[in-house]
Chain A
């Protein structure tokens, strides 16, 4: 995560798997060398597995062995970087940047407007996909990643007691997750 963050200079730069393998080996040679061959980088599960775990957590986008950080991933890497430097990683009362982004996106969505206007019957599965920021063709791990991202957003919003808009988004989340549980199950199981 730190490598992707530093390599991309805090942006969502796309990085090839090979570059990551070489990059982390150069930065942390003792941790990422091929077992028994300290002079060679490990290009196997040692690198591969955590990257795909990060994808499920919503930190990383991946396609065809090309990776990039998500907003949430950038934020997480930022915190890691600060921790690495011994700085405090607390975020205080303010929403994190990634949550702010998701907050703004959901707030402006047509589905949320319908929900606020109590026109729940007009909501469709497409509103659910829009809410999560996925499409019906999103791959399983990316879907799970987005799901985790939105749950993290909602967790953060829940802490903002007294903000009616945050409460509405939390309620919208709960409603959509309940109503479209079958879609969530389908993505997770397939």
Chain B
């Protein structure tokens, strides 16, 4: 077959309007996004004409009163000529459209966003644009076809008339702007959308503006330009600015991380190297910022929990952190930021025409190895920062937990002080006969005497130590005053000095004999004072018999070997009262005993519960310090201390018979008595999940 030379005679593409529907639908517009597109177009109009930022005024006008359909308008004060419309507005997908041949940096990318918004999201829409004394109206009909409004193509009009025609003469813009229009130095463009989709009759203006001001495509522009909002002819916001976020206390400074020149990413089944910088495109930087308020999804600021990918000018794409594969939530919700070229005004490698990652709608990057590598790297850096936030929060939490667990320990210390003396005295007194209450008053070796009137307290007044179980003894002549079996009632005149048992029956075990052989019953009444300097009268009655004794509560005394009760403290939590530990806190390791003492602690009667012991750490990690498990752990350590004290006391008191059996028996006895005492007194503390320490405890 002979070779034939065939040359195609090129003609312009003819594309069915259906293609616009297909592409337009992909934009997935909402009004915040569409308004951001209009804003970019307005700012681009100023940029093409070298208008300084402070002179770039844009007004968004919302009208839903006195109109058939609600209307959204965006007004700038530059204006377009018929040529602009022909060369830019009319042409779809022209990457140079936004520049209009100026070569200047503009926000508009492919020149479609604003137009598609008009076409897709309104019943009708149009540009009313005025420049050099000529007014044009170009827009989309209800049938989504574009064209000029009849009679408004290249229509000559005086500036004042044009302002009135567009109904913008009363807009809140500086007088000099209006003056420039009237003097013909500039024009204006009103982009008008009538009958916005999703809005039947009323705008939810606050919601729309909130979303608009924080939208990735508008947020940065709003930081610099003068954008005002008019709602039903009233100024709603004279200078719209994006929300400023307060930073987390310990992360005030933005974190800037330059991207490595090369990243490794999995592509199919192999790992490949992806270049993220070269001579033309220096390594970009990730700027991470923190917010003191969680930018949680669904919250007012939830949309800010994202990374905007910036290009030479404007935002190329934007990703919510949840879209990036960030794993460190919930603390990642305090992070937002941007990935930007190394220097302002530089293009990003993502904009390299050989590997263009920028998509048409600028929501996400085009998915390729470069964008995947970048996004994975960003996610990793966010996780790192979130990890630091988590660690810091955990430290703070620990500090709070320290306070809680110290309070729990205070409760146990108080409980121990109330019961230890009685338990230990019961354990080592060799039996007190009266179930712990009777007979103690008549000590061996002291002479038993008959009480005055046969019914009286041993002492008319006495002092007891605060929060320390004490006894006052009632003496009764038996049977002259009362027979064995008679009941004696007791009461205190103050709640601050309480009586453990308010009723006693005289038992034969309570009886001691005087030298003359007369029987006297000794009833030891257990009392506790809860406040220093509190005073009360303890009154005993039995039929017509009455006796009283005066009790005063005093400070706890310290005996020569230190405090009368062991003081139980928590390692790493409580201050070292002896001031020996470095920096005032005793830090123990996991190999140190769970209940620990230094030699100096023995004489000061101090015990430490090792909060770094393996079980303590496990409970903290699994349940935290305010859990019932932790309270039980603390309680068990108190039991350990009771046992230790009892064993040493046993050795001291009965070394001759100190052997494994005796120790075994004593341990069983201590635990039984301690549990008996705790089951009622510490009921809520030990078993109630929701237990909290009351302030007065």
Chain B residues within an 8 Å CB radius of A183: 599
Contacting residue for A136 out of B601, B651, B658, CB 8 A:
B601
Distance between A136 CB and nearest chain B CB, rounded to angstroms? 5
- Taking a contact as CB atoms under 8 Å apart, the answer to whether A187 and B599 are in contact is yes
A1-29 residues with Cβ-Cβ distance < 8 A to B are 14, 16
Residue of B nearest to A62 (CB): B655
**A 54-77 binary contact with B (CB < 8 Å = 1; else 0):** 000000001110100000000000
CB of B652 closer than 8 Å to a CB of A: yes
CB of A88 closer than 8 Å to a CB of B: no
CB of A186 closer than 8 Å to a CB of B: yes
CB of A49 closer than 8 Å to a CB of B: no
Contacting residue for B600 out of A64, A66, A127, A186, CB 8 A:
A186
Q: How many pairs, one residue from A and one from B, have CB atoms within 8 Å of each other in the complex?
A: 41
CA distance A72 to B414 in the complex (A): 45
Interface residues on A, range: 10 to 19
> A136 and B655 in contact (CB under 8 A), knowing A124-B591, A126-B591?
no
Residue of A nearest to B657 (CB): A14
- Taking a contact as CB atoms under 8 Å apart, the answer to whether B591 and A136 are in contact is no
B330-384 residues with Cβ-Cβ distance < 8 A to A are none
- Taking a contact as CB atoms under 8 Å apart, the answer to whether A124 and B602 are in contact is no
Chain B residues within an 8 Å CB radius of A126: 591-593, 596
Distance between A190 CB and nearest chain B CB, rounded to angstroms? 7
Chain B residues within an 8 Å CB radius of A122: 589, 591
- Taking a contact as CB atoms under 8 Å apart, the answer to whether A14 and B598 are in contact is no
- Taking a contact as CB atoms under 8 Å apart, the answer to whether A124 and B599 are in contact is no
CA distance A183 to B597 in the complex (A): 12
CB of A85 closer than 8 Å to a CB of B: no
Distance between A71 CB and nearest chain B CB, rounded to angstroms? 17
Interface residues on B, range: 20 to 34
Chain A residues within an 8 Å CB radius of B591: 122, 124, 126-127
- Taking a contact as CB atoms under 8 Å apart, the answer to whether B598 and A136 are in contact is yes
Chain A residues within an 8 Å CB radius of B601: 136
Chain B residues within an 8 Å CB radius of A125: 592, 598
- Taking a contact as CB atoms under 8 Å apart, the answer to whether B653 and A64 are in contact is yes
> A137 and B656 in contact (CB under 8 A), knowing A63-B651, A124-B589, A124-B592?
no
Distance between B641 CB and nearest chain A CB, rounded to angstroms? 12
CA distance A63 to B656 in the complex (A): 8
- Taking a contact as CB atoms under 8 Å apart, the answer to whether B597 and A136 are in contact is yes
CB of B648 closer than 8 Å to a CB of A: yes
CA distance A145 to B603 in the complex (A): 20
CA distance A122 to B592 in the complex (A): 10
CA distance A159 to B294 in the complex (A): 71
Contacting residue for B656 out of A14, A124, A127, A190, CB 8 A:
A14
Distance between B591 CB and nearest chain A CB, rounded to angstroms? 5
- Taking a contact as CB atoms under 8 Å apart, the answer to whether A14 and B655 are in contact is yes
- Taking a contact as CB atoms under 8 Å apart, the answer to whether B648 and A63 are in contact is no
> A63 and B589 in contact (CB under 8 A), knowing A136-B598, A137-B597, A183-B599?
no
A116-130 residues with Cβ-Cβ distance < 8 A to B are 122, 124-127
Residue of B nearest to A13 (CB): B656
- Taking a contact as CB atoms under 8 Å apart, the answer to whether A63 and B652 are in contact is yes
Contacting residue for A66 out of B598, B603, B656, CB 8 A:
B656
Given contacts A64-B655, A183-B599, 16 further A-B contacts (CB under 8 A): A14-B656, A16-B656, A62-B655, A63-B651, A63-B655, A64-B653, A64-B654, A66-B655, A124-B591, A124-B592, A125-B598, A126-B596, A136-B597, A136-B601, A137-B602, A190-B603
Ranked nearest first, the 4 interchain pairs of A and B with the lowest CB-CB distance are A63-B655, A66-B655, A66-B656, A136-B597
Q: Can you list 23 A-B pairs with a CB-CB distance of less than 8 A?
A: A14-B655, A14-B658, A16-B656, A62-B655, A63-B651, A63-B658, A64-B652, A66-B655, A122-B589, A122-B591, A124-B589, A125-B592, A126-B591, A126-B593, A136-B597, A136-B598, A136-B601, A136-B602, A137-B648, A183-B599, A186-B599, A187-B599, A190-B603
A residues with CB within 8 A of B: 14, 16, 62-64, 66, 122, 124-127, 136-137, 183, 186-187, 190
